[in-house]
Amino acid sequence: MSEFWSKIGEKISRFLVWVIDNHPGKFIGTSIGLVLGLLMVTLGFWRTLVLALFAILGFVLGKRQDDYKFITTWLEKNLKKY
């Protein structure tokens, strides 16, 4: 039985690699839609919305960090006005 599951896992892995190589946008969009749909069903609309907003904020802050645009310099520059 173990050989059966290892073959299934290998086929699924090959399929996922193929999908990501050939259709990354469709795969990512479908995955995000699936996760958001599950969250809507389990948490409700408003909690899912808040969670999505925090995820987007985390992505934006992480991207700024990756691009070496540190949040502290942005805060200092924008808070000097006040």
Per-residue pLDDT of the chain (82 residues), as tens digits, is: 689 999 999 999 999 999 999 998 899 889 989 999 999 999 999 999 999 999 988 888 777 777 777 777 777 777 777 6
Q: Quick check: 48 and 36 in contact, CB under 8 A?
A: yes
Give the pLDDT score at 63. 79
Tokens read off for 52? 């999505």
Residue 82 Cα to chain centre, angstroms: 35
Residue pair 75/69 in contact by the 8 Å Cβ criterion: no
**Could you give the CA distance from residue 56 to residue 51 in angstroms, rounded to a whole number?**
9
